[in-house]
Amino acid sequence: MDRRKFLSVSSTGIAGATIAGSSGAEGKEKPGAPSPDNDPASPLQAELRFIEEKTGQNPFRFSRTSERPPNIFLITMDMVSPDFYQPSRPLSQKLHLPTLRGLMNDGIFFRNAFCTVPLCSPSRASYLTGRYAYVLGNGERALDGLDTELRPNDVIFPEYLKATGYVTKQCGKCHVGTKKFIDAFGENDNPWNRWSPPIYDDDIYLEYERQLRVKYQRYSREIVLLQRDRKTPGNSVGGWIVQADGKPFPFEAQYSHYLVHRAIDKLEDALTSPSTRGRPIYLQLDIFDPHQPLSVPEGFEEREKELRAVMTLPETYQKVRARDWKPFPDQPKIYDVYREDWGLYNPNSLLDYRVGYVLQMEVVDRALGLLIRTLKEKGLYDDALIVVMSDHGEMNGRWAIIDKGVYLYPDVLRTPLVVKMPVSMRIKAHTVDAPVSLLDVAPTLLSVTGIEPDARMDGQSLLPYLQGTATPADRDLIFSCGWHVGVNFACGIQRWDRNGGHHLYSYNVSSKIDELYDLNAVEAENLAQEPEYARLRKEMIDRLGALLQSDPRWLGYWSPYRIDEFFELPKIAGDMQLLPR
């Protein structure tokens, strides 16, 4: 695994040197402490390496943190509502998610985890590189010339793992450009680079269906929303599926189950192939569900009845209905764009969607249960490092909107994040309340494996939080968005304090209305104009201004922000054209 082709240099302070507890003050080991060979806090040799060895591109330093690096499993889902995992949300108590809850019981749950951009491509670009993304839209709707894929010279963190000897495997959604996934996972990877799953043109999946003697899926009950005239059929958000001949569509043939099946096959190949067995494994499973269009198979009929008996509609949806979809004076226009685009004029359609969306999440959980059971049967679970997350959140009917979009509402920025650490590291399960970002996933996994890239990363290692040694603290996290169904170049920040206060401030370039939300609220409403929040709003305006002008990547936001908030911000004299000095 370790082909030492380069000159080793001494290093004692790399990020990978903090995985477990340190030894005693005088270098004496505490009872039960790891041996020096396995103690990541002890001085180690850092070896200079390159992802591209022949050209010397993308250097990093590598220190072996243990004789046997952990197998790593990254499981991503697409568009998961906070309703499904936040204990404060009443709906979360009604879901059957034994797999996810089992991982939460065995691991560390980050209660306040956020994406950087609430869209698929930008969010994935961020957490894979550990950097704020220049990608601000999904490729399907972006104008010609807008970056919608990662550039060839970008590095995603699995490339570093591969360069240190990990066997890297992936299956499922890509949506950041297949070239980068081929670089990271090899020429046999078959990632799909679009927002929706290739259920009718994924050759391997179609062969899988044939082996199960299952015909193509079609909808037996399809949820079709309405256009602005409230009569013309509009967007389909999927629904319940059967086979093309009308026979029940088995759970085993549903696409999420298929992806888990593929992941298990790739794991088996990595464990048994003469070229890879004995090497550490990094397996990335990118599931599309529970994103719409929904595809609920057979076997969930009784659960549907149970859910329909308890499911309600959001209070904010009822407020929209009471106003008959008239604009709200305290909301930017972009919310009306999305309300009209989705056309949830019929409350029964939203009820169907909310029920189907829960069922889709339970489909994912049941499928993931197969992977976790396989890891346990093979004796891999205990010492595996498992990360479960989503790329962004979902509105789930709030303010008469589903899905996500180019606005910074709390529910689309939140994401589940659970990390189960290897048992050998003796880290107890707990919950972290301090704010973290998906930007932190890459530096965390790299530090666990002793990798320190020379390239800048905007995230930070979460190891101190995983160990329970960090003092909870606030973070400067910037959120942004740009192009999707509508156009709204917005940026924002969050503010958290240890006494429980947690707020989100959003500046919309294309609107005179800014937003302030209580991140602890189940049905968040804009508080920006409420007198009792004036001081907090002013504090967050100043803080966002300081961040925007501190980094050249945000100057495009800083220019209009400085004008719109001129009377709120501290006065800064001088030219505003960025003339060279």
Q: What is the pLDDT of residues 69-86, one digit of tens each?
A: 999 999 999 999 999 999
Q: Which residues have CB under 8 Å from 53's CB, separation 6+?
A: 5
Q: What is the pLDDT of residue 387?
A: 98
pLDDT over 70 (residue 40): no
Q: What is the pLDDT of residue 3?
A: 33
Q: What is the pLDDT of residue 159?
A: 98
For residues 234-258, average pLDDT:
98
Buried/exposed 232-243: b ≥16 CB within 10 Å, e otherwise:
eebbebbbbbbb
Q: What is the pLDDT of residue 44?
A: 57
Nearest to 62 by CA among 447, 383, 445, 422: 447
Nearest to 22 by CA among 272, 306, 13, 255: 13
Q: What is the pLDDT of residue 435?
A: 98
Looking at per-residue pLDDT, the higher value among 488 and 143 belongs to 488
pLDDT over 50 (residue 2): no
pLDDT over 70 (residue 162): yes
CA–CA distance, 458 with 435 (Å, rounded to integer): 14
For residues 452-457, average pLDDT:
95
Going from the C-alpha of 366 to that of each of 75, 171, 362, 371, the distances in angstroms are 14, 18, 6, 9
Band the pLDDT of 10: cuts 50, 70, 90: very low
By DSSP bridging, strand 167-172 and strand 417-420 are unpaired
pLDDT over 90 (residue 33): no
CA–CA distance, 33 with 294 (Å, rounded to integer): 49
Q: Which residues have CB under 8 Å from 448's CB, separation 6+?
A: 16, 19, 65, 70, 72, 385, 463
For residues 424-453, average pLDDT:
97
Nearest to 110 by CA among 497, 505, 476, 472: 472
Q: Facing residues of 218 across strands?
A: 242
Q: Is 30 exposed, middle or buried (0-12, 13-18, 19+ CB in 10 A)?
A: exposed
Q: Are 34 and 13 in contact (CB under 8 A)?
A: no
For residues 126-131, average pLDDT:
98
Angle between helices 347-377 and 98-106 (to 10 degrees): 60
3-class SS at 476? Answer: coil
**Fold of the domain built from segment(s) 72-467:** Alkaline Phosphatase, subunit A (3.40.720)
Whole-number average pLDDT of the chain: 91
Report pLDDT digits (tens) over 41-65: 444 578 999 999 999 999 999 998 7
Nearest to 316 by CA among 384, 411, 196, 225: 411
Nearest to 65 by CA among 468, 463, 469: 463
Q: CB-side exposure of 189: number of CA atoms within 13 Å?
A: 26
Report pLDDT digits (tens) over 189-230: 999 998 889 999 999 999 999 999 999 999 999 999 999 999
pLDDT over 70 (residue 450): yes
For residues 286-312, average pLDDT:
98
How much of the chain exceeds pLDDT 70, in percent? 92
pLDDT over 70 (residue 8): no
How much of the chain exceeds pLDDT 90, in percent? 86
By DSSP bridging, strand 57-62 and strand 451-453 are antiparallel
Please tell me the least confidently modeled range out of 40-49, 406-415, 437-446. Answer: 40-49
Q: Which residues have CB under 8 Å from 82's CB, separation 6+?
A: 89, 393, 410, 411, 414
The pair of three-digit structure tokens given for residue 30, joined into one six-digit string: 């505490």
Report pLDDT digits (tens) over 300-355: 999 999 999 999 999 999 999 999 999 999 999 999 999 999 999 999 999 999 99
DSSP assignment of 108-154? EEETTEE-SSSSHHHHHHHHHHTS--S--B-TTTSPTTS--S--TT-
Q: What is the pLDDT of residue 45?
A: 72
